[in-house]
Each structure stands twice: as structure tokens, then as C-alpha cells.
Amino acid sequence: MVNPVANYLGDLRSHWRRILVLLGWSTLQALPVFATGRLVTIAIDEGFLSGRPVLGLLVAALIPIFALVGAAAAHLVFRSLAEIVEPIRDAMVRRIVTEAVETVAADPRTARVSRSLARITRQTEAVRGVTAGVLVETASMAVTIVAVAAGLALLAGEVFALVVLPVVASLVLLVMALGRLMRRQDRVYRLEEELSVEVDHGVMAFRDIAAQGRGTHTADELAALAFRQAAFEVAVARAGTMRGLVVGVGGYFPLVLVLICAVPLLDRGLSPGELLGALTYVSTGLIPALRSFVGVAGDALPRLVTALRRSGSTQLTRPDMIELPRAAPCELLHGRAVLFESVTFAYGEGAPLFRGLDLAFAAGEHIAVVGPSGAGKSTLVDLMCGVREPTGGRVLVSGVPPRENRHVAVLPQEGYVFDATLRENLGYLAKGTVDDDEAARVIEALGAAALIDPVEGLDARVDPRSLSPGERQLISLVRLALSEASVVILDEATSHLSPAVDARIERLLHNQGRTLIVVAHRLDVVHRADRVVLVDTVGTKAGTHEKLLASSQVYRDLLGDSASAQDC
Ligand SMILES: Nc1ncnc2c1ncn2[C@@H]1O[C@H](COP(=O)(O)OP(=O)(O)OP(=O)(O)O)[C@@H](O)[C@H]1O
């Protein structure tokens, strides 16, 4: 692959005629700069100081007229700019798409590159915008420096000598600082991207991360990444202070120098008008041009180079997955798999959702959790996987607090899928890589065979955005069935799947010897479960379906509501 920076420079060179036209209009745009110093000199020396104020006023009145000419030229500058940057952008897009098509043709596993292409297209737009800014500012800076230099040389050779050296020194300083700035900026962009991918994964899998006892570890990793990014941002900002230094050396230093030397210069025959003209060149021409060029060079140029480098085909490679939490080996537990001991929990200062709650689920037991909306079912799950800590009492899974073990896996309402291969997605909670035969068995048992690409199999890339919620749930369910977790929680996890699938999933997970806790969306689960936990604000209780039917009006109402809802 040809280097994208070299491609870009080649494109730019191919437009040299249009760049010359742009330079021409920029020269016209700089005409007011050249004219203003001279007009100030004439207005003062020939007009006001020679007792001809009307002439002075008339000459001064020419200054805004030249400014209007400059404004008209600016309009033409932007028109010619579009003729350069649009074809460059088109050429870049064409190259990237061609390369993507060729990559896909050569290796079908990269078939789903739409996301990468979208990102590259955004970068191409950035390249286009920044190219426009860099071209305009560079042309404007170049012609302004020439206009100021020519104006000063014509006006007073001594002043020209005072100004030119600091300007050259400041440009050398700028070039030296740019390389460093670009490297740091590139690092910031890379870290930014890495952080956003990892946060994305962390958010999707937050309950599993907590349940696997990896919450602190994941948070530490993300924090370390964020701190590294912040450190580079600070370094970039620090390097950015060189902009002030460049403008100071190239713009303000000559201004001060001319003022310090004003008296000797006047003694050596410089007229007051020439002195004021020279100061006008520096203050209204040189300093603004330098400031805006340094701004573009110090900010846009590093962004341009970074965007160009990143628009290369390497962007089509797959992002690395977050370092995955690994589940501990599955143990067939004896005794209690989950224990709530005098658990009290309240959100903030609110009334407790649970007060002195005692629950115990045996290993391998199949539990249904039901209750009115807002009663606390999801909170109960959060307590079991360690996302929340009880305000009183304790929760134990396999004999230890949830955060200290890795026995729980949770499937939330919205299954999560990573932008990675199907194998990586399915193996997220497994120990080691997924065994093809075992995966095939689970996929078959769950009726999810349609998920498997006939050609690429488990190595097919999964694009989360192209999946339906039901497909995402199915992938998450297969992942759960392949996990090492001994306690499996389905938190209204099959809402996007058919009721027939519910029973199949539960049977599979239960037959694997796991403790299965199903927060029920469809209440038919209570008939399949060994016991039911009724979560209710007036008191959470557990029992068999029959026992709860006989003892709880809330339970009877709940089943009645569900029956009538299903009738509808
Ligand atoms: N982060 C929070 N801060 C404060 N209150 C919360 C928070 N999360 C949930 N709640 C409140 O706690 C109560 C129980 O919420 P929870 O989501 O556990 O109920 P649920 O039974 O799962 O409800 P649903 O069936 O509607 O999902 C609700 O009143 C809810 O508004």
C-alpha cells in the first residue's frame, strides 16, 4: 500500500496550477496590508505634518477602500480553494473504497468493514476541512510576509533589517516544535480511540464484569488509559505554548525593537510618517498573519497529518477486544449457591427496597423471580452480581461476596455483542477459546444455527449494528451457555425471543448443572421453576408456585394480570 501522506502530497502537487491561482488571489487579498503602511506614511508626512490636513484625510480614506478590494479577493480565494480541496477529497475517498473492496475480495473475513469505512470517511472530511484551512492560512501568511517585507524595504531599509531576523527565527522555532507536537497529537488521538472502544465494551458487559469480580480491575485499566490520555493532552497543551513564543519572537519582538530604536532612527533621518508606517506594517500586517498561521500550523497541521496517516488501510483491521475477564472453573456446588443474609438495601436516603431479607438458593436450583414493576427485581440481581452492595447484612455467592468470586454470569434485557468475530463474542465468559463442537452443540440446542455464517463459521465477523435485538440476545445466550459460571441469571433476557425458546434455554442451562435464576418477563416460567421468589415492596418471599398461590394475594394478582395480558 502506498503511504497515504505520499498520496495526499501527490494529489496536492497535481493541483499546482490551481494553487498558483489561489496564491494570486491571496496576493490581491494582501494588497491592503502593503498599501496601508505606505498610505499612513504619505498621510502623515505629506498631509498632516505638511499643513495639508485635507490631503492627509483623503489619503487615509483610501485605506478602507483597499480593505474592500481585499475582501473581494478573499471571496475569490475561497472559490479557488474549493477547486483544490474537493478533488483531493474525492481522490482520497475513491482510493480508500477501492482498497476496501480489494481487501474484501482478497479476504472475505473483512466483509463487514462498513464501520471502519464510516470512520475513514469522517477522517477524509477532516482532511478536507483542515487542508482548506492550512492552504488559506499558508498562502495568506506567505503573501503577507512578502507584502510587509516589500513595504518595509521600500519605506526604510533599517527597519526592514530590524524585523526580518526575528521573523526568520520565529519560523525556524515553529518548524522545530511542529514535529514534536504532531507526535504528541497523534498519541492523543490513538489513546482517545482506544479509550472509547474499551469504555464501550465495559458499559455493555458491566454486570458480567462485576459478577466476575473484575470491576476494580477494569476500572483501574480504564482509569490508567484515561490518565495516559490526559497526560498527553497536557503535553500537547504545553507544546501549544510555543505558539505564543513564536508570535512573541516573530511579531511583538520586532515591534518593541522598532519602538526602542525609534529615536535613533528618527535622528538618522527616518520621518515620523515612515516610523508610523513601519509600525503599522508590523502591528496590522505581520502580527495578525503570524498569529493565525501559527494557530493553523500548531493545531490543524498535526491534525491533518494524523488524519492522513489514519486514513490508511490499517484502519480496516479489527479493533482488539478489551482484556476479557475470565471465569473461574465451574464447580458443581454443594449446599447454598446464593445466600442473602438479613439483607437491607435502599437507594440513597429512600425507603429500603429490602429490609432484613433472607434467601437461600441451592446449587443447581431453578429459581423464578417475579414481582410488580419497580418492586426491586433488577436490584436483587445487582446485589447478586456485586454491582450494588447491601446497606445491611450480606450476600454470598458460592460462600463469598459476589465481587470476590467469578461464579456469576448475567444476561440482561439487551444482549451485548462486540464488534469482533463470533468466536470472540461467544468465548467472552469462557475459559480459553471456544471449542467448535461444543459451540455447535449449544447453538443447535438453542435453535440458533442461522447465526452461523455457512462459509466463515465462528470466524465470521459480527457487526452489532446489523443484528436484530433477538439475534443479539441469542448470541449472548450461547455465550452464557458456554461460560464457566455456576450461577446464571437471566434478567428479562428473552423478551425479544419467542416463548418456545424460553423453555429450551432454561432446560439447557439447568441440565448443565448450573443454578438458574430467571427474572421473569413471561410468567409461565413459574411453572418450570423449582421455586419462585416474589419481590414485593411489602415483603419479598420465596416458595413453590403452589405455596405462593395459596399464601399471597400479590402473587395471585400478578398471575391474574399476566393471564389477562396474555389473553389480550
Ligand atoms: N439507581 C437508582 N437510584 C435510585 N432509585 C433507583 C435506582 N434504580 C432503581 N431505582 C428504583 O428502585 C426501585 C426498584 O427498581 P428495579 O429496577 O430494581 O425494579 P424492577 O422490579 O426490576 O422493575 P421493572 O420490572 O420495571 O424492571 C424502583 O422504584 C426504581 O425507581
| Ligand 1 near 378 CB (within 6 A) | yes
**What does the block give as the cell for 521?**
418477563
CA of 251 to the centre of ligand 1 (A): 62
Q: Looking at this protein, which amino acid is placed at residue 215? A: G
Q: In what order do the strands lie in the sheet with 354-362?
A: 354-362, 336-345, 392-397
Query: What pLDDT, on the 0 to 100 scale, is given for residue 250?
Result: 92
ipTM score of complex: 0.97
Smallest CA-to-CA distance from 364 within 488, 252, 532 is with 488
| Ligand 1 near 149 CB (within 6 A) | no
Q: Whose CA is nearest to atom 16 of ligand 1?
A: 376
Query: What pLDDT, on the 0 to 100 scale, is given for residue 328?
Result: 32
CA of 563 to the centre of ligand 1 (A): 24
Euclidean distance between CA atoms 149 and 160, whole angstroms? 7
Query: What pLDDT, on the 0 to 100 scale, is given for residue 566?
Result: 44
Taking 50 as the pLDDT cut, the residues of the chain under it are 1, 108-112, 313-335, 563-568
- The alpha helices in 156-214, defined as continuous H runs, are 157-204, 206-211
Euclidean distance between CA atoms 426 and 94, whole angstroms? 36
Q: Whose CA is nearest to atom 1 of ligand 1?
A: 347
Name the residue of 354, 377, 537 to mutate for ligand 1: max ligand atoms within 8 A of Cβ: 377
Query: What pLDDT, on the 0 to 100 scale, is given for residue 533?
Result: 93
Euclidean distance between CA atoms 518 and 503, whole angstroms? 11
Q: Three-state DSSP class for 418?
A: coil
**What does the block give as the cell for 526?**
413459574
b/e burial code for range 243-268 (CB count within 10 A of at least 16 → b):
beebbbbbbbbbbebbeebbeebeee
Which domains does the chain show, CATH number per domain? 4-316 (1.20.1560.10), 336-567 (3.40.50.300)
Distances 181 to 242, 247, 324, 539 between C-alpha atoms, Å: 10, 17, 34, 62
CA of 210 to the centre of ligand 1 (A): 18
Query: What pLDDT, on the 0 to 100 scale, is given for residue 331?
Result: 31
| Whole-structure pTM value | 0.52
| Ligand 1 near 374 CB (within 6 A) | yes
Angle between helices 16-29 and 53-106 (to 10 degrees): 160
CA of 390 to the centre of ligand 1 (A): 15
Neighbour tally for 119: CB within 10 Å: 15
**Cell 439447568 belongs to residue:** 510
Query: What pLDDT, on the 0 to 100 scale, is given for residue 473?
Result: 82
Query: What pLDDT, on the 0 to 100 scale, is given for residue 336?
Result: 61
| Ligand 1 near 215 CB (within 6 A) | no
b/e burial code for range 545-566 (CB count within 10 A of at least 16 → b):
beebeeebebbeebbeebeeee
Query: What pLDDT, on the 0 to 100 scale, is given for residue 412?
Result: 76
Q: Whose CA is nearest to atom 24 of ligand 1?
A: 373
Q: Is 190 within 8 Å of 309 (Cβ atoms)?
A: no
| Ligand 1 near 412 CB (within 6 A) | no
Q: Whose CA is nearest to atom 2 of ligand 1?
A: 347
| Ligand 1 near 373 CB (within 6 A) | yes
Name the residue of 347, 414, 562 to mutate for ligand 1: max ligand atoms within 8 A of Cβ: 347
Name the residue of 353, 518, 525 to mutate for ligand 1: max ligand atoms within 8 A of Cβ: 353
- The angle formed by the CA atoms of residues 225, 229 and 234, to the nearest 5 degrees, is 145
Euclidean distance between CA atoms 216 and 188, whole angstroms? 25
| Ligand 1 near 540 CB (within 6 A) | no
For the chain, the residue count is 568
Query: What pLDDT, on the 0 to 100 scale, is given for residue 93?
Result: 81
Query: What pLDDT, on the 0 to 100 scale, is given for residue 333?
Result: 32
Q: In what order do the strands lie in the sheet with 531-534?
A: 408-411, 487-491, 515-519, 366-370, 531-534, 541-543
Q: Three-state DSSP class for 534?
A: strand
CA of 369 to the centre of ligand 1 (A): 15
Query: What pLDDT, on the 0 to 100 scale, is given for residue 57?
Result: 95
CA of 469 to the centre of ligand 1 (A): 23
